[in-house]
Amino acid sequence: MQPWAEALFLQRVRDARKDSPLARCLPVSAPFHNFFNLTRVVQTPALLLMLYESPNSPHRTVFMDGRDLPVNPNPAWLGYSVGRWEGDTLVIVTAGFNDRAWLDSGGHPQTESLRLTERLRRRDFGHMDFETTIDDPKAFTRPFTIKTERLLAPDTDLLEDVCENERDRPRMSGDPGVRLRPEVAASYAGTYELAPGRQLVIVAEADLVFVRGLGEPKLPLLAQSQTDFMSTATATGFVFVRDARGAVTHLLVRGAEGEVKAVRK
């Protein structure tokens, strides 16, 4: 990240993401939809529609008629998209974003220079390979690519979603109620072994704790208490455990597959 973008991202972590668009009934970003939400793709010869199960039931239009992206578009929450086929891979290029959206649920910022290139390939009946390249030179020092797999959800439907969280805004203080002292954060730093050859590295910087591993290069954790933390990207939880003398002995990682113990080395 560019220095200003990293500083803003970490401030959003410290503020418990109180200004998230989701908390204010505003749209979330295209990358967020691509990786987390149920999506319906409606295909026609001239255009493609992507419908999302997300607050306020947003949709994207991808023009497939050979047109170029608009030269000077009015900045939009989900941008403007054109698509083409490269063999059996659908390539979607999107630009014209505003700078109000968050790139992800963690709070990475985006600017009006953001350009997305998505590649969708249906590997077989039930699996789609999904690749997104994020290029925003004002926020990041270089483009980067994220890959995932989308699974078919048969015999289901998108549910209508209407957001009204604005009624709760007076009660959103933004204070998570947890202030981690730098010496407490530093006591968690070290290497933790999940399994032979599979390790997590915990890094402390001032009042923040970061984790390396689990597919993440360096991810700040959101403090829930002095010992419990949540990922800023997934639903994974992290609990540091101390012995009777107060020394940190291991870490519990709680995710979709259950709880895993990681012993401090």
Other CB atoms within 10 Å distance of the CB of residue 156: 10
Give the burial class of 175: count Cβ atoms within 10 A of its Cβ; 0-12 exposed, 13-18 middle, 19 or more buried: exposed
Q: What pLDDT, on the 0 to 100 scale, is given for residue 141?
A: 97
How high is the pLDDT of residue 173? 55
CB-based contacts of 37-41 (< 8 A; 24+ apart in sequence) = 38/153, 38/156, 38/158, 39/150, 40/158
| Residue at 188: amino acid letter | Y
**CB 233 within 8 Å of CB 216:** yes
Residue 49: how many other CB atoms lie within 10 Å: 13
CATH 2.40.128 in the chain: give the residue spans.
3-168, 182-264
User: pLDDT at position 94, please?
Assistant: 97
Considering the four listed CATH numbers 1.10.860, 1.20.1300, 2.40.128, 3.40.50, the one that applies to the domain covering 182-264 is: 2.40.128
Extract the tokens encoding 171. 């009660």
pLDDT at 175: 55
Determine whether domain 3-168 maps to CATH 2.40.128: yes
Half-sphere exposure at residue 121, Cβ-oriented, CA atoms within 13 angstroms: 11
Running along the chain, 265 residues long, what does each successive block of 10 average in pLDDT? Answer: 95 86 84 83 94 86 96 93 97 96 90 97 95 97 94 91 68 65 94 89 93 80 91 88 94 88 93
Asked if 120 and 89 touch (Cβ cutoff 8 Å), the reply is: yes
